[in-house]
Chain A
Amino acid sequence: MTRVLGWLAAAGLVIGLVMAFVIAPREVTQGHVQRIMYVHVPTAWVAYLAFAVVFVASIVYLARRSATADRLAHASAEVGVVFTGVTIASGSIWGKPTWGTWWTWDARLTSVAILFIMYLGYLLLRGMIDERERGARYAAVLGIIAALDIPLVHFSVYWWRTLHQPPSLMKPGGASTMPAPIVAALLVNLAAFTLLYAYFVARRTRLLARQQQALA
């Protein structure tokens, strides 16, 4: 099952690469640099998805005390942090030629950076507690608080300042402005990265289960 997921993800990524580099046209104003979007947007999406999964799994853990939910939260947080890191890095590489700077204190950059730090702290807390049951409980509480904090961070930082280009795919109240091949390439990559996320989490959850088995 996991293996199938892995092959699906790999196939999706290959198709996504072909779509991004061959089929999608060169963007008129930004040129080839714009193709970073096919990595940047999917990784950002996966990061938010991963933290949403942490939130739900944390609630399930506190309600049912299921070790599976705890492992899912742990694995998802790890994968989420990695993808948040990739989002920041790819955004930085994209920002240099288009905005002329690696980093700027724009609203969305800042809120993603805060997310990154928040969930790094989550992983740090997990690493600091040796007792499995207590670590799981504390991490679940933190996973819930962090998720509830996301909208607050988002709003506060948005009011603080914004410079980022508005989202081009799911614009509130209006059709997408992107040509069809670009949309198709983006959607394929979104699907491929979501599969990759599922594969990583499945692998990591199983590894955590084995680890706990070996230590028990």
Chain B
Amino acid sequence: MISYFARAWIVARKDVAVERRSKETLNALVFFSLLLVFAFQFALGPDRERLAQATPGLLWLGFVLASLLGLGRTFLIERENDCWEALLLTPGDKSAIYVGKLAGNLLLMLAVGILLVALFTLFFNVNVFAGMPALALVMVLGTLGVASVGTLFAAMTANVRARELLFPVLLLPVLVPVLLATVKATEGALAGEPFGAYAHWLQLLAAADVIYLVAGLLTFDFILEG
């Protein structure tokens, strides 16, 4: 019998390989991120000051919207060719599958997050380099928070009627703390405030990550059975 992490690694490697060959989700998300930048620009107008002020909120709103599209698909691929049954048949703790799926999603959403930051820098002329180390930390913690609940809820809604409707409806309210914390911390980082001024938001974000991750690991078994 192979170890827990080996099994998680197999799931993650499989997902990354599928995504690398088809590029289905990533291509769509790149295009979607670009569209979002246009939509934000049209919604707020050309005023540079206003765009700069709204940047932290828009950045994370865009990220959450992209996650709703990207993460909701996590388990759809398993519905073809009876892959779902094969997942159920894997021996040992099922949460290894959760860890593997989460790792794949983290990679995908980190790529989208970096892309969004690059697009904002390019089109809205935001100077991200000043707050870079802090912004990177916010990005990692925020992505982990969104992806850990998102992966769990994606498994939950994969076999439910009106899946594409239910996934965002369930995920968005739960993600409110993550959204608030990332926006506030990004605001602080971009404004060049001292780290201590927004460290409490990062602490909240870290606490949320731990809670979601532990809850996901403990409850994933119950979602996959049957």
Contact = CB atoms under 8 A, between A and B. Distances in A.
Interface in A98-130: 114, 117-118, 121, 124-125, 128-129
25 contacts: A62-B219, A114-B173, A114-B176, A121-B166, A121-B173, A124-B170, A137-B222, A138-B156, A141-B152, A141-B219, A141-B222, A144-B215, A145-B149, A145-B152, A146-B174, A148-B211, A149-B177, A149-B211, A152-B207, A152-B211, A156-B177, A156-B204, A157-B176, A157-B177, A159-B204
A129 B157 CA distance: 10
A142 B204 contact: no
A10 interface: no
Interface residues of B, number: 32
B205 to A, nearest CB: 9
A124 B167 CA distance: 11
Given A141-B223, A144-B215, A156-B181, A124 B169 contact: yes
Interface in B36-66: none
A124 B161 CA distance: 11
Which of B159, B161, B177, B212 is most buried by chain A, counting CB atoms within 10 A of its CB? B177
A141 B222 CA distance: 8
Contacts of B225: 137
A118 B174 contact: yes
A159 B170 contact: no
Interface in B167-190: 169-170, 172-174, 176-177, 180-181, 184
